[in-house]
Amino acid sequence: MANENAKRAAEEFLAAKLAEESQLLEAQLNEQAAIALGPTVWKRVAATVNSQCRDWNAVTNEQTLSCRETPLGDLRILCAGRTYQMIVHYDSRKGFVTIKNSARPENEPDTILRIVGYSNGTERDAHLVRSTSEPVNLDMLILGHLRVLAGLSRRAE
């Protein structure tokens, strides 16, 4: 009986050790994916911002929102007739995308998103998450910021 208990305890130990090693490997692979795919995620962010600005301007039939790339590679969005601006910055060393919107209320912090890697079953991919590791709906996030920049509420009512 004692022999079986020792065997069961050793099996539990091995299972826990393998699970821990598996988690460490998964974390390492996710980190590598985030670093390698960070520029791709940034391109998706830039494409989304540019697309939203183009769509907005198409509806208004004027250049309401202007989106320009700064010499540092950031995106700067201005709204016609308003003094506010929105800057979208990519920090490739830290894997962060920061959205600074001067039209937002003073008590709201800048939006800081982190690029994280994950397994999609067959390969690795990367996406943006909030501080709570919650994946970001990029279209809705950018639209909310553009609405605030234009002087509207964050959400349509």
116-143 residue pLDDT tens: 998 888 898 999 999 777 889 999 999 9
Is a pLDDT exceeding 90 seen at residue 106?
Answer: no
Which of 17-21, 68-72, 112-116, 137-141 shows the lowest mean pLDDT across its residues?
Answer: 17-21
Contact 139, 123 (CB under 8 A): no
Q: Is 70 left (phi over 0), alpha (psi -120 to 50) or beta?
A: beta
With 90 as the cut, is the pLDDT of residue 17 above it? Answer: no
- Whole-model pTM over 0.85: no
86-87-89 Cα angle (round to 5): 155
DSSP 74: -
What per-residue confidence (pLDDT) applies to 43?
96
Q: How confident is the model at residue 157 (pLDDT cuts 50, 70, 90)?
A: low
pLDDT of residue 121: 80
